[in-house]
Structure 1
């Protein structure tokens, strides 16, 4: 057993000064078979600690559930950190931001409009307690005081940028301590204005989050906390990307110089991100500061270790800086080698609307319902209603992208990013609206908002009620496989795929190994390998490839499935030698 404490100027491990050299790895963004590799490469860079958030909505996708299987096995992740001889920092929120869907807060929580957000509202606190009751035992038994790796535990997350409800923060502190958390508690906030004071409580260690002007930021932090060790809890050495923009990068030498300033000042650090990973499936978040901007599938973050787990120039620059201050291991990881290349053709497909029409429907007698009425909280939803005639159909808002069909024929698309809310319908018939939740806002006042079609739904000014809505359940592709038929022959074997549809192809492999899927000629949708949802692709870019973690690939035949929303100009995709995350900003 060990002790960990906060001294007058240092963190103290067993009474001795201990500088935290941490790197952020989100276990839920990395295939679990690759956790050890990523943790080891952090140690090889010279780090001694791994930090992670905990995504409440992933662990509890529905009320009264708590999953710890597969990529959600936090206990196993922390045990692997310990096995590598490293310490751990756990940041369970309950709000995490992290460019993650809804900032980690479960969407089901806000189907009750009376529930508060990040506040001491009783309904919200009760739900938080239910989450913590199941989470905290996993962390408590893995604290350094009980022979585990956990040395620090965070209360909320950059709360000073959102609110200043001290009763809420105190409730989180009391809950953690009552459950047996006895390592130091801390908060993190940006060193601006009153955020540090608003986001913390007396007795909690305060840390800063920043990526530049390190000396100035540390001085700001010291003015507000005269005693205790200085720490940057998020040293932003890269950034995330949104669809339709460039791939963000930061200069390796400049970032390394800032890290040197931090370490020279005697500060501890958590590098955010050390390894970003991937927003698999529908897990990406979004930002909305007047314009809705969903985050891409890759969470590479221009981190020292790439999305697929390889060292960059930044990795070695950081390692050199750390080596000036602390010993580093002699071994270093190898650079990326080319992945297998091949061309894969899809040969069969199923119309998405036809298959989805067999899924259970929720009929709502009143105004157009939110997508949450289905009990599914991400992905795609199909709204249906029969119309006697055409006209201008408008909605209060579309969240986030809606494709309109009359008797199966496409009539147009509306997108939230462009503020579009109305469409002309040429006639009546069966109206079907396929709505994509492109990611819930993860930062700011729009956290917790509903998805789908937002009323009122007006046809030439008259409100349309009595809608039905179906969840497009993609947890299994079996219904689509069962309905798939051979694609019609195109000219000389060429031709595209009509959307929305799910198409299937197969490819051979010698065994597990990373792949990079390139979808040139395809428009928008999701791709699956052996049933695993790799995430979203979109011709808007910036990213041009999807990362396929090696453990998903098996020896022999493998299945590729593509959910294409609009339509493609080709029936082929390519596995290429290396990832392409798009052009950098120059």
Structure 2
């Protein structure tokens, strides 16, 4: 039986001092067929440990319905790590941040009026308990105390950046212990006084998250952990991207230098990220500091491995540093996975959203607009439609509050976009506002609202989607709505029509095309010329694209393809230059 323990400032593994050199890989951002490849590359770089978050919304997508199979098979991911003789750090906090949708919290939490998140609020704790009652028994056999590879588990994540409810932290800690978790427990926070005070817990190892100035950061951590090992639980060696900004890059010389200083000090480290992976589907999160900023589909993170798992110059620079402090296995690095371009794929069929609503959604009649969560919807889009009497003079369409982007239609004719960041609730009609004049016979007003990702960090996390209060024409609220939830989780019932050149840009429309694959390889879908939407490959939701960048291509792992016919469906919100996409061998991150 292996043993992992603390002795003063040291970690001991089977009685011998060990410096943890860990890298983060999120199983839920990598297709399962590639888990072994990514873990093998981590070991080949000299890492002795892998760390992963557990995403609650992946494992309990609907309340009481649990999933631990396929891409959610966390047990198998940990077992593969064990087969490669890697230690495992698990961070199963109800909240994980991770730039993941709602910080890993399930959207259905917001269906309850008055829900309080991440505090000692019993209705919230009851739901955490129900999740942990299912999750923890799966992890207990994998603990090092039971012969498994898990050496440590996290109690909560960066809690000091959010709150200071020590009773809540202790409730989580005791709940883990009560369910058989008897390995090292820890917290992780930024190296600032208020964060460490709010997020740490007596009897639990405090660790720090930072990307630079390790001496300063460890100095602050030492004030709170004077007698235990120092750990950087998140060494930010890259960064993530929001839509509309430049792709973040951090040079490997700087990253290698900071790592060298961390390891030279004797501290342990966890790279965030070793590989970032992909926010497939609608799982990207968002930030809100001064404004709402959704994260792109790619979670490349400018990490040691690219989004598609390829080694980078940063990988080799880090391997060289690690080799100064630990043995690096020789001849372990696997061959690169094949990449190819399948060429141009033409969309030959289309299905206009307003024509196929009955196959995608069961309408709900409501006096007032309801949020997605109130209707049991997690992600995607939601369409609100009402009849407005006339005549009325030109009046401003006001949405209180739009979460996050609404396309406005009058009698199915496009009027414009209402954006969360720029929409004013005042009566004054600005240049970017939408105003309509209603004829005497009345008109039909429709708003197609996109959930661009729930806030994953900070004080704006309570972020229900759709229309949260109401819709006004000038100062009058409009009532009696027909609502179509559009999670887009099943497109199999769509009936398509051939595309005609005269109507290739019909607003929100599904476009379908096929291509042949003689051999399977990773590829990248270039969406140049398209405006904004979502792409599905063989029914799998690859994620969003948007012409504002920085991301220009969507990563398509080979396991999503099949030999022979393959289907691409593009849900385009606005229109494109040409109804075709290009499948190429290399990415374009902007």
TM interval, shorter chain, is over 0.9
Alignment of 1:132-281 (within 5 A): 132-281=132-281
Deviates more, 1:421-430 or 1:376-385: 421-430
Shift of 1:489: 3.8
User: Which residue number corresponds to residue 485 of structure 1?
Assistant: 497
User: C-alpha offsets along residues 462-520 of structure 1, whole Å, 9 cap, x if unaligned?
Assistant: 1112222111142221122xx20001146xxxx84432011100011123210100011
CA contact (8 A) 1:503 1:562 kept: yes
Q: Cα offset for 1:12? A: 1.5
Alpha-carbon deviation of 1:337?
6.3
Distance in 1 (alpha carbons) for counterparts of 2:313 and 2:422: 38
> 2:422 maps to what in 1?
418
CA contact under 8 A between 1:298 and 1:543: conserved in structure 2? yes
Measure how far apart 1:340 and its partner are. 2.3
Q: Tell me the residue number matched to 2:413.
A: 409
Deviations 1:339-359 (A, max 9, x none): 224000000010112212452
Match of 1:246, SS state, is: coil
Distance in 2 (CA, whole Å) between partners of 1:527 and 1:368 is 28
- Rounded Cα–Cα distance in structure 2 between residues aligned with 1:247 and 1:40: 27
SS in 2 for 1:303: coil
Alignment correspondent of 2:577: 569
Q: Which position in structure 2 is the counterpart of 1:555?
A: 563
Q: CA deviation at 1:561?
A: 0.7
Q: 1:496 to 1:355 in 2, by over 3 A?
A: closer
> Which secondary structure state, in structure 2, belongs to the residue aligned with residue 456 of structure 1?
strand
**Take 1:148 and 1:474, find their aligned partners in 2: how far apart are those partners?**
39
CA distance in 1, matches of 2:554, 2:330: 33
Of 429, 437, 441, the residue aligned with 2:443 is 429
**Alignment match, 2:102:** 102
1:383 aligns with 2:384: yes
Contact 1:371-1:469 within 8 A present in 2 as well: no
CA distance in 1, matches of 2:306, 2:52: 17
> Following superposition of structure 1 onto structure 2, how do residues 116-135 of structure 1 map, counting pairs within 5 Å?
116-135=116-135
Q: CA deviation at 1:420?
A: 4.9
Aligned to 2:430: none
Q: Deviations over 1:194-231 (max 9, x none)?
A: 21122011110011000101122112111221111111
* Cα distance between partner residues in 2 of 1:219 and 1:334: 41
CA distance in 1, matches of 2:201, 2:474: 54
What is the rounded CA distance, in whole Å, between the counterparts of 1:386 and 1:145 in structure 2?
Answer: 64
Query: What runs of 5+ residues in structure 2 fail to find an aligned partner?
Result: 426-432
Cα deviation for residue 404 of structure 1 reads: 1.1
CA distance in 1, matches of 2:399, 2:568: 36
CA distance in 2, matches of 1:343, 1:441: 36
Following the alignment from structure 2 to structure 1, what is the Cα–Cα distance between the partners of residues 372 and 66?
Answer: 23
**In structure 1, the residue corresponding to 2:382 is in which secondary structure?**
strand
Q: Which residue of 2 aligns with 1:532?
A: 540
Q: Measure, in 1, the Cα distance between the counterparts of 2:142 and 2:120.
A: 28
The aligned residue for residue 362 of structure 2 is: 360
| Kept in 1: contact 2:338–2:522 (CA 8 A) | no
CA distance in 2, matches of 1:334, 1:237: 24
Query: Once the two structures are superposed, what CA deviation does each residue of 1:383-435 show, in whole Å capped at 9, x if it has no partner?
Result: 11111135322122211010111222111111113235552123232222111
Is the Cα–Cα contact under 8 Å of residues 414 and 420 in structure 1 kept in the other structure?
A: no
User: 2:340: which partner in 1?
Assistant: 339
Residue 372 of structure 2: aligned partner: 371
State the Cα distance separating 1:15 from its structure 2 match. Answer: 2.2
Q: CA deviation at 1:37?
A: 0.4
- 1:117-157, Cα deviation, whole Å (9 max, x unpaired): 10001111111111111111111110011111100000110
Give the conservation status (yes or no) of the 8 Å contact 2:369–2:483. Answer: no
CA contact (8 A) 2:36 2:80 kept: yes
Residues 239 and 301 in structure 1, CA contact (< 8 A), matched pair in contact too:
yes
Q: Cα deviations across residues 226-245 of structure 1 (Å, max 9, x unaligned)?
A: 11111100000000000000
Distance in 1, Cα, partners of 2:375 & 2:141: 38
Distance across 2 between alignment mates of 1:194 and 1:6:
26
Aligned residue in 2 for 1:284: 284
Contact 2:110 2:373 in 1 (8 A): no
Aligned residues: 575
Contact 1:378 1:437 in 2 (8 A): yes
Give the TM-score normalised by the residue count of structure 1.
Answer: 0.96
Q: CA deviation at 1:338?
A: 5.1
TM-score (norm 2): 0.95
Distance 2:189 2:310 in 1: 30
SS at 2:347 equivalent? strand
Q: Which residue does the alignment assign to 1:453?
A: 467
CA distance in 2 between counterparts of 1:33 and 1:338 reads 15
Asked if 1:82 is matched to 2:86, the reply is no
Aligned-partner Cα distance in 2 for 1:452–1:381? 7
Matched, 1:46 2:46: yes
Query: Residues 505-524 of structure 1 correspond to what in structure 2 (within 5 A)?
Result: 505-524=513-532
Q: Deviations over 1:369-396 (max 9, x none)?
A: 2122321111111111111135322122
Asked if 2 retains the 8 angstrom alpha-carbon contact of 1:311 and 1:333, the reply is no
